[in-house]
A and B are shown apart, each in its own frame.
Chain A
Amino acid sequence: MKILVAVKRVIDYNVKVRIKSDHTNVDLTNTKMSMNPFCEIAVEEAIRLKEKGVASEIVVATIGSKACQETLRTALALGADRAIQVEAEDALDSLSVAKLLAKLATDENADLVIMGKQAIDSDNNQTGQMLAALLDYPQATFASEVVVEGGEAVVTREVDGGLQTLAIQLPAVITTDLRLNEPRFAKLPDIMKAKRKPLDVKTPEELGVEIKSNLEIVSVTPPPERSGGVKVTSVSELVEKLKNEAKVIS
């Protein structure tokens, strides 16, 4: 079974975001970038399926500028077999990314696509679902447990009231939630080996996908500032303030 894993290069999750002074977007110059945390979990899950003998090959793909090759090398060092970079702008919208991934999934004949449930920059939570729709595959989003057996995947999903379990027929798309697994770290020899693993570069034109977007960013601003309040010295002072000053309890 072949697994396609989609990964995204995003601002590192520990970095405090700066907004450009002209409010056109966030400022990413000289900012630490890393693999999106949900994508790391997707890579880890694919590797575990390979270690269990369920998967035979893991192809990792990303859509973005040349700098994204670094993210692909990280995935290769963790255990992916091959990588594909689709050379494009870094912040394409989810639908364009889904169309490019749909073409890759078809060309590669992947049995399963695993990807993060959302990127921590755009916070969209869309691409996996869109990909599944374009391919007319079933989807299991926000997965916290995946068992692949006999041509189907039994997936436990994190939903608002608790958990839900679905069985989806392969080929399918699964998006990962944080609790699915704990990603491993790449070891130095694996990082060296990853440099020699194959990495193809493709363009949207080669894939026959037209990139267009009808969404325009009008402005990006900082959220309303919340200033720290006061420290109280005792529980009774706290209760008094909540009753008489903030008036949120009676």
Chain B
Amino acid sequence: MSVLVISEHDNSTLKPATLNTITAAIEVGGDVHVLVAGKGSQSVVSQVSTIVGVSKVFVADNAVYEHQLAENISKLVVELASDYSHIMTPATTTGKNLLPRVAALLDVAQISDIIQVESSDTFVRPVYAGNAIATVKSTDVTKVITVRSTGFDAAVPEGGNANQVTVEQVIESNKCRFVSDQLVESDRPELTAASVIVSGGRGMGSGDNFKLLEGVADKLGAAIGASRAAVDAGFVPNDMQVGQTGKTVAPDLYVAVGISGAIQHLAGMKDSKVIVAINKDEDAPIFQIADYGLVADLFEAVPELESSL
């Protein structure tokens, strides 16, 4: 039994979710090998080589892999698949885009978004927006799995010493072309990896008012999130969205400001260790799950919170 983990990176830095996926792979058991497919991604290869628990790193370095197009990478993974009992990748947008393509080419089912490994063939995953937890067992020859990063601790990044193996195959689809990226610049911690998150909802009233949250976030070293209502209202870009259709987070502290607590938002954050809600509506559903609730006008409470930290 051995596990192939497909790493996620931007050709220079490894995405932290890969570390959580490696922990899940170690729990499955057997050798853990990691594929780094990209262009000029030698620094990523070095980062992966020192992760404790990884014994081999496959390096596929070619311009065709630069943007992680699923059409190319899926076939590359299938080339390597026959040696593995499990293929795993983080349940990020990149992983979700790629892995079902791999599963279909291998003619096996895929298990999405696991939060727990019961045994090498049995896994736990949330369904119905986190309102039910399913335990599923697969009898497929190759288990193809995406991993919810908040379900697993990060693997230790330093101390390992994996062998590097070059993969020569170049697979390029002429049916798909990368046009452009519009990425959002931010100095704050990445939402899915932050230990503290301050999130704003429709109650923020406007995009400018999100600046109110920045002061609190700076003092707490927090990432800033948003509810779908705030994103749909155009207050903030959608990559800040926490929820069933956005990012799933589980920080130590989640501060929900002006968020009512719709089911789709709760699905993305209710595994946080401590939840704080600041809302002027005392009947808001968010108070039913908040450890600490403050019924107050956020425009007074947030500046006060900032100055008292």
Contact = CB atoms under 8 A, between A and B. Distances in A.
23 contacts: A17-B132, A26-B132, A120-B129, A120-B244, A123-B127, A129-B70, A138-B175, A141-B93, A162-B182, A165-B180, A165-B181, A167-B177, A168-B175, A213-B109, A218-B137, A220-B127, A228-B289, A228-B293, A229-B290, A231-B295, A238-B292, A239-B305, A248-B273
Q: DSSP class of A's interface residues: helix, strand, loop or mixed?
A: mixed
B22 to A, nearest CB: 19
Interface in A148-170: 154, 157-169
Given A160-B247, A163-B182, A235-B294, 5 more contacts: A19-B132, A122-B127, A141-B96, A236-B308, A248-B253
A162 B252 contact: no
Contacts of A168: 175-177
A162 B239 contact: yes
Nearest to A121: B128
Given A130-B100, A167-B179, A95 B122 contact: no
Interface stretch (B30-38, B53-61, B110-118, B153-161): B110-118
A241 interface: yes
Contacts of A249: 196, 220, 253, 309
A214 B139 contact: yes
Nearest to B101: A133
Interface in B128-147: 128-140
A229 B270 CA distance: 13
A242 interface: yes
B108 interface: yes
A221 B132 contact: yes
Most buried by A among B92, B93, B178: B93
A144 B97 CA distance: 15
Contacts of B10: 161
A130 B103 contact: yes
Contacts of B228: 178
Nearest to A120: B129
Contact of B184 (A14, A17, A133, A161): A161
A213 B110 CA distance: 11
B103 A126 contact: yes
Nearest to A222: B132
Interface residues of B, number: 91
A164 B102 CA distance: 21
Contact of A95 (B92, B97, B103): B103
A124 B135 contact: no
Contacts of B126: 123, 223
Interface of B: 10, 67, 69-71, 74, 92-94, 96-105, 107-113, 122, 126-140, 173-184, 192, 196, 220, 228, 231-232, 237-239, 244-245, 247, 252-253, 263-264, 270, 273-276, 282, 287-296, 301, 304-305, 308-309
Contacts of A242: 253, 274, 276, 292
A166 B113 contact: no
B304 A235 contact: yes
A165 B292 contact: no
A93 interface: yes
Interface string A11-46: 101101101000000100000000000000000000
A26 B130 CA distance: 12
Contacts of A217: 134-136
Contacts of B174: 169
Most buried by B among A125, A131, A134, A231: A125
B292 A241 contact: yes
A167 B176 contact: yes
Given A26-B128, A129-B100, A248-B252, A229 B291 contact: yes
Interface string A108-145: 00000000000011111111111111100111011010
Contacts of A164: 67, 178, 180-182
A160 B239 contact: yes
A188 interface: no
Contacts of A163: 181-183
A144 B181 CA distance: 14
Contacts of B92: 160
Contacts of B96: 125, 129, 141
Interface in A77-131: 93-95, 98, 120-131
Nearest to B221: A249
Contact of B135 (A159, A218, A248): A218
Contact of B294 (A131, A141, A158, A232): A232
Contacts of B104: 95, 98, 129-131, 133-134
B178 A166 contact: yes
